[in-house]
A and B are shown apart, each in its own frame.
Chain A
Protein backbone atom coordinates (compact mmCIF):
# COMPACT_ATOMS: atom_id res chain seq x y z
CA UNK A 1 0.00 0.00 0.00
CA UNK A 2 1.07 3.58 -0.74
CA UNK A 3 -0.27 6.56 1.17
CA UNK A 4 0.22 10.14 0.00
CA UNK A 5 1.89 12.33 2.63
CA UNK A 6 -0.92 14.82 1.95
CA UNK A 7 -3.97 14.50 -0.32
CA UNK A 8 -4.48 17.12 -2.98
CA UNK A 9 -0.81 18.04 -3.51
CA UNK A 10 0.11 15.61 -6.28
CA UNK A 11 -1.16 12.57 -8.20
CA UNK A 12 0.47 9.17 -7.83
CA UNK A 13 -0.24 8.09 -11.43
CA UNK A 14 2.16 7.07 -14.17
CA UNK A 15 3.35 9.66 -14.86
CA UNK A 16 2.61 11.63 -11.67
CA UNK A 17 1.87 15.37 -11.51
CA UNK A 18 1.87 18.26 -9.04
CA UNK A 19 -1.56 19.85 -8.56
CA UNK A 20 -1.70 23.62 -8.86
CA UNK A 21 -4.02 26.43 -9.87
CA UNK A 22 -3.88 29.20 -12.46
CA UNK A 23 -5.44 32.63 -11.96
CA UNK A 24 -7.98 33.53 -14.66
CA UNK A 25 -7.30 37.25 -14.13
CA UNK A 26 -3.49 37.58 -13.96
CA UNK A 27 -2.38 34.17 -15.26
CA UNK A 28 -0.14 33.43 -12.27
CA UNK A 29 0.34 29.78 -11.32
CA UNK A 30 0.21 28.60 -7.70
CA UNK A 31 1.37 25.48 -5.86
CA UNK A 32 -0.26 24.03 -3.85
CA UNK A 33 -3.81 24.77 -4.99
CA UNK A 34 -5.02 28.15 -3.72
CA UNK A 35 -8.46 29.42 -2.71
CA UNK A 36 -7.64 32.81 -4.19
CA UNK A 37 -4.77 34.04 -6.35
CA UNK A 38 -1.77 34.67 -4.09
CA UNK A 39 -0.78 37.62 -6.27
CA UNK A 40 -4.00 39.46 -7.16
CA UNK A 41 -6.55 37.92 -4.74
CA UNK A 42 -8.96 36.88 -7.52
CA UNK A 43 -11.05 34.03 -6.12
CA UNK A 44 -11.28 30.43 -7.28
CA UNK A 45 -8.34 30.00 -9.65
CA UNK A 46 -8.58 27.15 -12.17
CA UNK A 47 -7.19 23.73 -11.10
CA UNK A 48 -4.32 22.53 -13.33
CA UNK A 49 -1.59 19.88 -13.39
CA UNK A 50 1.92 21.36 -13.45
CA UNK A 51 4.60 20.33 -15.94
CA UNK A 52 6.58 17.27 -14.89
CA UNK A 53 9.90 18.57 -16.20
CA UNK A 54 11.81 21.68 -15.23
CA UNK A 55 15.28 22.99 -14.43
CA UNK A 56 17.22 23.17 -11.18
CA UNK A 57 17.48 26.70 -9.67
CA UNK A 58 18.77 26.10 -6.11
CA UNK A 59 19.73 23.07 -4.04
CA UNK A 60 21.17 21.90 -0.75
CA UNK A 61 21.15 18.75 1.38
CA UNK A 62 19.71 18.24 4.84
CA UNK A 63 22.25 16.34 6.95
CA UNK A 64 20.42 16.09 10.30
CA UNK A 65 16.80 14.97 10.70
CA UNK A 66 14.56 18.05 11.01
CA UNK A 67 11.70 18.10 13.57
CA UNK A 68 8.92 15.59 12.86
CA UNK A 69 10.86 13.83 10.09
CA UNK A 70 11.14 10.02 10.28
CA UNK A 71 12.92 9.25 7.01
CA UNK A 72 16.59 8.85 6.21
CA UNK A 73 19.27 11.56 6.04
CA UNK A 74 20.97 13.06 4.17
CA UNK A 75 18.37 14.08 1.60
CA UNK A 76 18.27 16.79 -1.03
CA UNK A 77 16.04 19.88 -0.92
CA UNK A 78 15.91 22.40 -3.73
CA UNK A 79 13.98 24.68 -6.02
CA UNK A 80 12.93 23.57 -9.51
CA UNK A 81 11.69 26.07 -12.09
CA UNK A 82 8.82 24.87 -14.28
CA UNK A 83 7.81 26.12 -17.76
CA UNK A 84 4.67 27.75 -16.28
CA UNK A 85 6.97 30.40 -14.75
CA UNK A 86 6.68 28.93 -11.27
CA UNK A 87 9.46 27.85 -8.90
CA UNK A 88 8.67 24.96 -6.54
CA UNK A 89 10.26 23.93 -3.25
CA UNK A 90 10.86 20.19 -3.44
CA UNK A 91 12.79 17.23 -2.16
CA UNK A 92 15.52 16.10 -4.52
CA UNK A 93 16.49 12.47 -5.07
CA UNK A 94 20.16 13.57 -5.15
CA UNK A 95 21.61 14.27 -1.68
CA UNK A 96 25.13 15.19 -2.81
CA UNK A 97 25.12 18.94 -3.63
CA UNK A 98 28.33 18.60 -5.65
CA UNK A 99 26.56 16.25 -8.09
CA UNK A 100 24.08 18.96 -9.13
CA UNK A 101 24.35 22.06 -11.32
CA UNK A 102 22.21 25.14 -11.93
CA UNK A 103 19.89 24.79 -14.90
CA UNK A 104 20.13 21.03 -15.22
CA UNK A 105 16.94 19.24 -16.38
CA UNK A 106 14.87 17.69 -13.59
CA UNK A 107 11.85 15.38 -13.62
CA UNK A 108 9.07 14.70 -11.10
CA UNK A 109 9.10 11.42 -9.15
CA UNK A 110 7.05 10.02 -6.29
CA UNK A 111 9.37 8.69 -3.57
CA UNK A 112 8.90 6.77 -0.29
CA UNK A 113 9.51 8.64 3.01
CA UNK A 114 8.88 6.02 5.70
CA UNK A 115 6.33 3.37 6.70
CA UNK A 116 3.29 4.32 8.78
CA UNK A 117 1.81 2.26 11.68
CA UNK A 118 -0.09 0.02 9.20
CA UNK A 119 3.07 -0.82 7.26
CA UNK A 120 2.08 1.34 4.29
CA UNK A 121 4.69 3.36 2.42
CA UNK A 122 4.14 7.09 2.93
CA UNK A 123 5.17 8.81 -0.32
CA UNK A 124 5.84 12.38 -1.39
CA UNK A 125 6.90 14.32 -4.48
CA UNK A 126 10.54 14.86 -5.41
CA UNK A 127 12.55 15.87 -8.44
CA UNK A 128 15.33 13.75 -9.95
CA UNK A 129 17.96 14.62 -12.56
CA UNK A 130 16.26 13.87 -15.89
Chain B
Protein backbone atom coordinates (compact mmCIF):
# COMPACT_ATOMS: atom_id res chain seq x y z
CA UNK B 1 0.00 0.00 0.00
CA UNK B 2 1.36 3.39 -0.96
CA UNK B 3 2.15 6.09 1.61
CA UNK B 4 0.57 9.53 1.61
CA UNK B 5 2.47 12.82 1.79
CA UNK B 6 1.31 16.34 2.47
CA UNK B 7 2.65 18.25 -0.55
CA UNK B 8 1.30 21.68 0.35
CA UNK B 9 -0.77 23.57 2.91
CA UNK B 10 -2.65 26.87 2.94
CA UNK B 11 -4.73 28.87 5.37
CA UNK B 12 -7.12 31.78 5.50
CA UNK B 13 -6.72 33.29 8.98
CA UNK B 14 -9.39 32.42 11.58
CA UNK B 15 -11.43 35.37 12.87
CA UNK B 16 -14.34 37.57 11.82
CA UNK B 17 -14.21 38.99 8.28
CA UNK B 18 -17.24 41.07 7.35
CA UNK B 19 -17.85 41.18 3.62
CA UNK B 20 -15.66 38.12 2.96
CA UNK B 21 -17.67 35.07 1.86
CA UNK B 22 -17.20 31.38 2.63
CA UNK B 23 -16.11 30.99 -1.01
CA UNK B 24 -13.63 33.89 -0.78
CA UNK B 25 -11.89 32.30 2.20
CA UNK B 26 -11.77 28.89 0.55
CA UNK B 27 -10.16 30.40 -2.55
CA UNK B 28 -7.38 31.95 -0.44
CA UNK B 29 -6.58 28.69 1.37
CA UNK B 30 -6.79 26.45 -1.71
CA UNK B 31 -4.67 28.78 -3.83
CA UNK B 32 -1.97 28.84 -1.15
CA UNK B 33 -1.91 25.05 -0.79
CA UNK B 34 -1.75 24.47 -4.55
CA UNK B 35 1.07 27.00 -4.86
CA UNK B 36 3.08 25.28 -2.12
CA UNK B 37 2.57 21.91 -3.81
CA UNK B 38 3.59 23.40 -7.12
CA UNK B 39 0.47 22.12 -8.88
CA UNK B 40 -2.47 23.66 -10.74
CA UNK B 41 -5.40 22.87 -12.99
CA UNK B 42 -5.59 19.21 -13.95
CA UNK B 43 -3.01 18.12 -11.39
CA UNK B 44 -5.40 16.70 -8.78
CA UNK B 45 -8.05 14.06 -9.45
CA UNK B 46 -10.52 14.69 -6.61
CA UNK B 47 -11.41 17.27 -3.96
CA UNK B 48 -13.01 16.85 -0.53
CA UNK B 49 -14.39 19.93 1.23
CA UNK B 50 -15.33 20.04 4.92
CA UNK B 51 -18.09 22.45 5.91
CA UNK B 52 -21.06 22.45 8.27
CA UNK B 53 -22.73 25.79 7.60
CA UNK B 54 -21.48 26.42 4.03
CA UNK B 55 -24.61 25.13 2.27
CA UNK B 56 -25.09 23.46 -1.09
CA UNK B 57 -21.95 22.76 -3.17
CA UNK B 58 -19.55 24.80 -1.04
CA UNK B 59 -16.53 23.01 -2.50
CA UNK B 60 -17.73 23.44 -6.09
CA UNK B 61 -18.13 27.19 -5.59
CA UNK B 62 -14.51 27.52 -4.44
CA UNK B 63 -13.06 25.43 -7.28
CA UNK B 64 -15.32 27.10 -9.88
CA UNK B 65 -13.82 30.45 -8.92
CA UNK B 66 -10.38 28.99 -9.57
CA UNK B 67 -11.37 27.43 -12.90
CA UNK B 68 -10.60 23.96 -11.64
CA UNK B 69 -13.65 21.70 -11.92
CA UNK B 70 -14.48 18.45 -13.67
CA UNK B 71 -13.11 16.05 -11.08
CA UNK B 72 -15.29 14.67 -8.26
CA UNK B 73 -15.87 17.34 -5.59
CA UNK B 74 -17.42 16.02 -2.39
CA UNK B 75 -18.61 18.16 0.52
CA UNK B 76 -18.24 16.45 3.89
CA UNK B 77 -20.12 17.32 7.09
CA UNK B 78 -19.08 15.70 10.35
CA UNK B 79 -19.53 18.58 12.81
CA UNK B 80 -16.29 19.66 14.48
CA UNK B 81 -14.53 16.75 12.76
CA UNK B 82 -15.63 17.65 9.20
CA UNK B 83 -12.07 18.37 8.07
CA UNK B 84 -10.84 15.15 9.64
CA UNK B 85 -13.51 13.22 7.77
CA UNK B 86 -12.50 14.85 4.47
CA UNK B 87 -8.86 14.02 5.16
CA UNK B 88 -9.67 10.38 5.96
CA UNK B 89 -11.56 9.94 2.68
CA UNK B 90 -8.81 11.60 0.64
CA UNK B 91 -6.01 9.57 2.25
CA UNK B 92 -7.91 6.31 1.84
CA UNK B 93 -8.49 7.01 -1.86
CA UNK B 94 -4.77 7.59 -2.43
CA UNK B 95 -3.78 4.51 -0.44
CA UNK B 96 -6.24 2.42 -2.45
CA UNK B 97 -4.61 3.60 -5.67
CA UNK B 98 -7.71 5.45 -6.85
CA UNK B 99 -5.96 8.83 -7.11
CA UNK B 100 -2.40 10.17 -7.08
CA UNK B 101 -3.16 13.66 -5.83
CA UNK B 102 -6.18 14.95 -3.89
CA UNK B 103 -7.12 18.41 -2.66
CA UNK B 104 -8.63 18.59 0.85
CA UNK B 105 -9.99 21.83 2.22
CA UNK B 106 -12.48 23.26 4.68
CA UNK B 107 -14.15 26.64 4.76
CA UNK B 108 -16.66 28.08 7.19
CA UNK B 109 -18.47 31.23 8.25
CA UNK B 110 -20.25 30.56 11.54
CA UNK B 111 -23.23 32.59 12.74
CA UNK B 112 -22.34 34.81 15.70
CA UNK B 113 -23.15 33.88 19.29
CA UNK B 114 -23.96 30.47 20.78
CA UNK B 115 -23.93 27.88 17.99
CA UNK B 116 -27.41 27.09 16.66
CA UNK B 117 -27.24 23.51 15.46
CA UNK B 118 -29.76 21.68 13.27
CA UNK B 119 -28.70 18.64 15.31
CA UNK B 120 -31.27 19.61 17.92
CA UNK B 121 -35.01 19.20 17.42
CA UNK B 122 -37.19 22.32 17.84
CA UNK B 123 -38.60 21.11 21.17
CA UNK B 124 -35.08 20.79 22.61
CA UNK B 125 -34.45 24.44 21.75
CA UNK B 126 -37.82 25.44 23.29
CA UNK B 127 -37.04 23.50 26.47
CA UNK B 128 -33.61 25.12 26.80
CA UNK B 129 -31.86 21.79 26.22
CA UNK B 130 -30.01 22.95 23.08
CA UNK B 131 -27.39 24.97 24.96
CA UNK B 132 -23.96 23.81 23.81
CA UNK B 133 -22.16 25.59 26.69
CA UNK B 134 -24.39 23.74 29.17
CA UNK B 135 -23.12 20.38 27.90
CA UNK B 136 -19.56 21.72 28.08
CA UNK B 137 -20.24 22.88 31.65
CA UNK B 138 -21.63 19.50 32.71
CA UNK B 139 -18.61 17.68 31.23
CA UNK B 140 -16.28 20.16 32.91
CA UNK B 141 -17.96 19.55 36.26
CA UNK B 142 -17.55 15.78 35.93
CA UNK B 143 -13.87 16.25 35.00
CA UNK B 144 -13.46 18.25 38.20
CA UNK B 145 -14.85 15.23 40.10
CA UNK B 146 -12.91 12.49 38.29
CA UNK B 147 -9.58 14.25 37.71
CA UNK B 148 -9.16 16.75 40.51
CA UNK B 149 -9.46 19.63 38.04
CA UNK B 150 -10.14 23.03 39.63
CA UNK B 151 -11.26 26.35 38.19
CA UNK B 152 -7.63 27.41 38.56
CA UNK B 153 -6.56 24.60 36.21
CA UNK B 154 -9.22 25.65 33.72
CA UNK B 155 -7.97 29.24 33.83
CA UNK B 156 -4.38 28.11 33.34
CA UNK B 157 -5.29 26.14 30.19
CA UNK B 158 -6.64 29.39 28.74
CA UNK B 159 -3.57 31.37 29.82
CA UNK B 160 -1.27 28.74 28.26
CA UNK B 161 -3.08 28.59 24.94
CA UNK B 162 -3.48 32.36 24.66
CA UNK B 163 0.26 32.73 25.33
CA UNK B 164 0.93 30.25 22.50
CA UNK B 165 -1.54 32.04 20.24
CA UNK B 166 0.07 35.43 20.83
CA UNK B 167 2.69 34.54 18.22
CA UNK B 168 0.28 33.00 15.71
CA UNK B 169 -0.55 35.59 13.01
CA UNK B 170 -3.50 33.45 11.86
CA UNK B 171 -5.22 33.35 15.28
CA UNK B 172 -8.32 35.39 16.19
CA UNK B 173 -6.92 36.39 19.59
CA UNK B 174 -3.22 37.31 19.57
CA UNK B 175 -3.08 38.87 23.02
CA UNK B 176 -2.07 37.03 26.17
CA UNK B 177 -4.44 36.91 29.13
CA UNK B 178 -4.16 36.25 32.86
CA UNK B 179 -5.83 33.80 35.21
CA UNK B 180 -7.40 36.78 37.00
CA UNK B 181 -8.95 38.02 33.76
CA UNK B 182 -10.24 34.55 32.88
CA UNK B 183 -11.80 34.02 36.31
CA UNK B 184 -13.11 37.60 36.24
CA UNK B 185 -15.02 37.05 32.99
CA UNK B 186 -18.69 36.24 33.49
CA UNK B 187 -19.87 32.72 34.28
CA UNK B 188 -21.56 31.23 31.20
CA UNK B 189 -22.30 27.72 32.49
CA UNK B 190 -20.66 26.91 35.82
CA UNK B 191 -17.79 26.04 36.14
CA UNK B 192 -17.02 27.62 32.75
CA UNK B 193 -16.41 31.36 32.43
CA UNK B 194 -16.66 33.24 29.13
CA UNK B 195 -12.91 33.25 28.43
CA UNK B 196 -12.79 29.47 28.92
CA UNK B 197 -14.96 28.96 25.81
CA UNK B 198 -13.73 29.23 22.23
CA UNK B 199 -15.48 31.53 19.76
CA UNK B 200 -17.29 30.09 16.77
CA UNK B 201 -15.88 32.10 13.85
CA UNK B 202 -14.69 32.08 10.22
CA UNK B 203 -11.74 30.74 8.29
CA UNK B 204 -10.44 28.20 5.80
CA UNK B 205 -7.64 25.66 5.52
CA UNK B 206 -6.38 23.47 2.67
CA UNK B 207 -3.94 20.62 2.02
CA UNK B 208 -2.68 18.81 -1.03
CA UNK B 209 -2.18 15.08 -0.44
CA UNK B 210 -0.03 13.06 -2.85
CA UNK B 211 1.24 9.54 -3.24
CA UNK B 212 4.45 9.54 -1.22
CA UNK B 213 6.64 8.62 -4.18
CA UNK B 214 5.40 11.73 -6.02
CA UNK B 215 6.18 14.07 -3.08
CA UNK B 216 9.16 12.46 -1.34
CA UNK B 217 10.19 15.59 0.54
CA UNK B 218 6.77 16.14 2.08
CA UNK B 219 5.49 15.45 5.57
CA UNK B 220 4.01 11.94 5.79
CA UNK B 221 0.36 11.41 6.73
CA UNK B 222 0.83 8.34 8.93
CA UNK B 223 -2.83 8.02 9.99
CA UNK B 224 -6.16 9.75 9.37
CA UNK B 225 -9.03 8.19 11.34
CA UNK B 226 -12.67 9.08 11.93
CA UNK B 227 -14.84 7.26 14.46
CA UNK B 228 -18.37 7.74 15.78
CA UNK B 229 -19.54 6.98 19.30
CA UNK B 230 -20.51 3.80 21.10
CA UNK B 231 -23.55 4.71 23.26
CA UNK B 232 -23.40 4.70 27.04
CA UNK B 233 -22.16 8.03 28.35
CA UNK B 234 -24.94 10.55 28.98
CA UNK B 235 -22.41 13.35 28.38
CA UNK B 236 -20.98 11.86 25.17
CA UNK B 237 -20.51 14.23 22.24
CA UNK B 238 -23.34 12.26 20.65
CA UNK B 239 -25.44 14.53 22.91
CA UNK B 240 -28.11 11.99 23.88
CA UNK B 241 -30.98 12.69 26.29
CA UNK B 242 -30.00 9.70 28.42
CA UNK B 243 -27.18 7.26 29.04
CA UNK B 244 -26.25 4.42 31.35
CA UNK B 245 -25.08 4.70 34.95
CA UNK B 246 -22.65 1.90 34.05
CA UNK B 247 -21.05 3.78 31.15
CA UNK B 248 -17.91 1.80 30.38
CA UNK B 249 -17.84 2.48 26.62
CA UNK B 250 -14.64 4.22 25.49
CA UNK B 251 -15.31 7.76 24.19
CA UNK B 252 -15.09 8.35 20.42
CA UNK B 253 -11.79 10.22 20.84
CA UNK B 254 -10.21 7.13 22.39
CA UNK B 255 -11.63 4.90 19.66
CA UNK B 256 -10.14 7.16 16.98
CA UNK B 257 -6.81 7.55 18.79
CA UNK B 258 -6.31 3.80 19.27
CA UNK B 259 -7.02 3.21 15.58
CA UNK B 260 -4.64 6.02 14.61
CA UNK B 261 -1.82 4.76 16.83
CA UNK B 262 -2.22 1.30 15.31
CA UNK B 263 -2.36 2.65 11.75
CA UNK B 264 0.82 4.69 12.31
CA UNK B 265 2.61 2.01 14.34
CA UNK B 266 3.22 4.65 17.02
CA UNK B 267 1.99 5.39 20.53
CA UNK B 268 1.40 8.44 22.71
CA UNK B 269 4.99 8.31 24.03
CA UNK B 270 6.29 8.82 20.48
CA UNK B 271 4.54 12.20 20.05
CA UNK B 272 6.41 15.52 20.03
CA UNK B 273 3.52 17.95 19.53
CA UNK B 274 -0.28 17.79 19.74
CA UNK B 275 -3.12 20.00 18.51
CA UNK B 276 -6.32 18.89 20.27
CA UNK B 277 -9.93 19.92 20.65
CA UNK B 278 -10.08 22.76 23.18
CA UNK B 279 -13.54 24.15 22.46
CA UNK B 280 -13.48 24.86 26.18
CA UNK B 281 -10.67 24.69 28.70
CA UNK B 282 -11.92 21.45 30.25
CA UNK B 283 -12.17 19.84 26.83
CA UNK B 284 -8.38 20.18 26.36
CA UNK B 285 -7.78 18.36 29.65
CA UNK B 286 -10.34 15.67 28.78
CA UNK B 287 -8.79 15.31 25.33
CA UNK B 288 -5.35 14.71 26.87
CA UNK B 289 -6.78 11.84 28.93
CA UNK B 290 -8.83 10.34 26.10
CA UNK B 291 -5.86 10.48 23.68
CA UNK B 292 -3.69 8.65 26.21
CA UNK B 293 -1.27 11.57 26.72
CA UNK B 294 -1.62 10.86 30.46
CA UNK B 295 -3.35 8.31 32.68
CA UNK B 296 -7.13 8.57 33.10
CA UNK B 297 -7.62 11.23 35.79
CA UNK B 298 -4.12 12.59 35.21
CA UNK B 299 -4.80 15.69 33.13
CA UNK B 300 -4.57 18.21 35.97
CA UNK B 301 -1.19 16.78 36.99
CA UNK B 302 -0.06 16.83 33.33
CA UNK B 303 -0.92 20.54 33.11
CA UNK B 304 0.74 21.22 36.50
CA UNK B 305 3.94 19.53 35.28
CA UNK B 306 4.32 22.10 32.50
CA UNK B 307 4.63 19.29 29.92
CA UNK B 308 1.94 20.73 27.68
CA UNK B 309 3.37 24.26 27.55
CA UNK B 310 5.75 25.33 24.78
CA UNK B 311 9.20 24.22 25.95
CA UNK B 312 7.68 21.30 27.87
CA UNK B 313 7.90 17.58 27.12
CA UNK B 314 4.79 17.47 24.89
CA UNK B 315 3.42 20.89 23.91
CA UNK B 316 -0.35 20.83 23.39
CA UNK B 317 -1.92 23.44 21.11
CA UNK B 318 1.19 25.46 20.21
CA UNK B 319 -0.99 27.28 17.65
CA UNK B 320 -2.94 28.72 20.57
CA UNK B 321 -5.66 26.13 20.05
CA UNK B 322 -9.27 26.92 19.32
CA UNK B 323 -9.26 29.10 22.45
CA UNK B 324 -6.99 31.52 20.52
CA UNK B 325 -7.93 30.76 16.94
CA UNK B 326 -11.69 30.31 17.32
CA UNK B 327 -13.58 27.45 15.71
CA UNK B 328 -14.80 27.55 12.10
CA UNK B 329 -16.30 24.02 12.14
CA UNK B 330 -15.42 22.83 8.63
CA UNK B 331 -11.93 24.37 8.72
CA UNK B 332 -10.81 23.82 12.30
CA UNK B 333 -9.54 20.23 11.97
CA UNK B 334 -7.57 21.04 8.82
CA UNK B 335 -6.27 24.21 10.48
CA UNK B 336 -4.72 21.98 13.14
CA UNK B 337 -3.12 19.81 10.47
CA UNK B 338 -1.74 22.87 8.66
CA UNK B 339 -0.18 24.03 11.95
CA UNK B 340 1.38 20.62 12.54
CA UNK B 341 2.78 20.38 9.01
CA UNK B 342 4.43 23.76 9.59
CA UNK B 343 5.69 22.57 12.99
CA UNK B 344 7.23 19.48 11.41
CA UNK B 345 8.89 21.67 8.77
CA UNK B 346 10.25 23.97 11.48
CA UNK B 347 8.47 27.06 10.14
CA UNK B 348 6.69 28.27 13.29
CA UNK B 349 9.05 30.91 14.65
CA UNK B 350 8.47 31.81 18.31
CA UNK B 351 5.91 29.00 18.77
CA UNK B 352 8.12 26.33 17.14
CA UNK B 353 8.35 23.01 19.00
CA UNK B 354 12.05 22.28 18.60
CA UNK B 355 12.89 19.07 16.79
CA UNK B 356 9.26 17.98 16.31
CA UNK B 357 9.08 14.92 14.07
CA UNK B 358 5.84 13.20 15.19
CA UNK B 359 2.59 15.15 15.57
CA UNK B 360 -1.04 14.37 16.38
CA UNK B 361 -4.20 16.39 15.76
CA UNK B 362 -7.62 15.73 17.26
CA UNK B 363 -11.16 17.03 16.86
CA UNK B 364 -14.39 15.75 18.33
CA UNK B 365 -17.93 17.03 18.13
CA UNK B 366 -21.59 16.40 17.84
CA UNK B 367 -22.72 13.26 16.12
CA UNK B 368 -20.53 12.05 17.72
CA UNK B 369 -17.57 12.31 15.37
CA UNK B 370 -13.94 12.12 16.47
CA UNK B 371 -11.03 12.57 14.08
CA UNK B 372 -7.37 11.83 14.85
CA UNK B 373 -4.51 12.51 12.41
CA UNK B 374 -0.85 11.53 12.90
CA UNK B 375 1.90 13.19 10.86
CA UNK B 376 5.58 12.29 10.74
CA UNK B 377 8.70 13.74 9.25
Contact = CB atoms under 8 A, between A and B. Distances in A.
A64 B188 contact: yes
Interface in B87-132: 113-116, 120-123, 125-132
Contacts of A62: 128, 131, 133-134, 189
B181 interface: no
Interface residues of B, number: 41
B126 A69 contact: yes
Given A66-B130, A68-B122, A89-B129, A61 B190 contact: yes
Contacts of A20: 242
Interface residues of A, number: 42
Residue with the greatest number of chain B CB neighbours at <10 A, chosen from A30, A69, A91: A69
A45 interface: no
A91 B129 contact: yes
A87 B188 CA distance: 24
A89 B240 contact: yes
A59 interface: yes
Given A39-B231, A66-B125, A81 B245 contact: yes
Contacts of A75: 128
B138 A59 contact: yes
Between B128, B130, B190, B247, the greatest number of chain A beta carbons within 10 A of the residue's beta carbon is seen for: B128
B141 interface: yes
Interface of A: 5-6, 9, 20, 28-32, 38-39, 57-64, 66-71, 75, 77-79, 81, 85-89, 91, 97, 102, 113-114, 122, 124
Ranked nearest first, the 4 interchain pairs of A and B with the lowest CB-CB distance are A68-B125, A66-B131, A67-B116, A60-B137
